[in-house]
């Protein structure tokens, strides 16, 4: 079965969970830090993404704690989630390698002559 590319929020959530168990607010901070501020998840986006990741078996809940009177739900990447993140990182590396080759002028394809308007 072919997998689709991870959406950017899902990618960064899995990246944050690669270090271990985290609660929602920590995930918001960590995804922003890991992405260099490019991703700033709203709470609703975070939990919608987490719900999808749980449904896909890539993340699981890992208990609740009450801290300062507030409930914190913890999440952890599953082995499938870690493997999916690894596969996505490899896919992105392959894309970057192609672009770097293109930019350096070292392509693996032979250069075809330009069309000559029907002249053989």
Q: Where are the domains of the chain?
A: 8-104
What's the predicted TM-score (pTM) here? 0.80
Q: How many CB atoms lie within 10 A of CB 34?
A: 17
Q: Given this model, what pLDDT does residue 67 score?
A: 86
pLDDT one-digit tens code per residue, 31-80:
999 999 999 999 999 999 999 999 999 999 999 888 888 889 999 999 99
pLDDT one-digit tens code per residue, 72-114:
999 999 999 999 999 999 999 999 999 999 999 876 665 566 5
Name 11's Cβ contacts closer than 8 Å, sequence gap at least 6: 85, 88
Name 85's Cβ contacts closer than 8 Å, sequence gap at least 6: 6, 11, 14, 15, 18, 77
Q: Given this model, what pLDDT does residue 44 score?
A: 94
Residue 96's H or E segment, with its range, is helix 79-104
- What is the fold, at CATH topology level, of the domain defined by 8-104? Arc Repressor Mutant, subunit A (1.10.10)
């Amino acid at each position: 079965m072919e997998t689709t590319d991870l959406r950017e929020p899902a990618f960064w959530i899995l990246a944050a969970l690669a270090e271990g168990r985290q609660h929602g607010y920590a995930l918001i901070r960590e995804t922003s830090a890991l992405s260099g501020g490019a991703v700033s998840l709203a709470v609703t986006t975070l939990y919608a993404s987490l719900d999808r990741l749980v449904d896909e078996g890539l993340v699981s809940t890992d208990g609740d704690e009450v801290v300062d009177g507030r409930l914190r739900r913890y999440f952890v990447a599953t082995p499938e989630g870690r493997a999916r993140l690894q596969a996505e990182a490899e896919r992105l590396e392959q894309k970057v390698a192609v672009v770097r080759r293109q930019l350096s002028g070292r392509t693996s394809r032979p250069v075809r002559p330009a069309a000559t308007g029907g002249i053989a």
